[in-house]
Amino acid sequence: MEIEYRDVMLNQSFDNKREAIISAGKLLQERGYVTENYIPKMIERDQMTSTFIGNMVAIPHGTEDSKAEILRSGIVLIQVPQGVSFDGNEVKLIIGIAGAEGQHLELLSEIAMVCSEIENVEKLVAAQDKDAVIQLFEGGAAA
């Protein structure tokens, strides 16, 4: 999985999870991964089942019927050092995903490899520059 500078936003803050999900969706759209119509599907998906996965991480993504809105696979990483509540769970790392042509599970697997270790998430949240975030994430584990 390749992550570019433009896929990463540092030191963001949100009043609520809806704002956070919309921000992730807009970044996915700006990067050419999805259409604008994917964003409401991300909100709908979180209402069905929370996209909070533990270890201060949420992975907002679209519903099953939003596949037509995905232009190409990609992920965006949003660092929220002060945290935002996802139904009472503190989230400090938001990873928006769009998986085209069945790549959804592959993306989730790669994210899980990094985010299953709380130490990796803490390093991602504390990172001061995009290089550090990309290096930690693409390395599959913290250095």
Contact 41, 99 (CB under 8 A): no
Other beta carbons within 10 angstroms of residue 83's beta carbon come to 15
SS3 call for 67: helix
61 is catalytic: yes
Which of the residues 61, 104, 123, 130 is marked catalytic?
61
| Residue 101 C-beta-side C-alpha neighbours within 13 Å | 3
At 54 the three-state DSSP class reads strand
CA atoms within 13 A on the CB side of 38: 30
**Residues tagged active-site:** 61
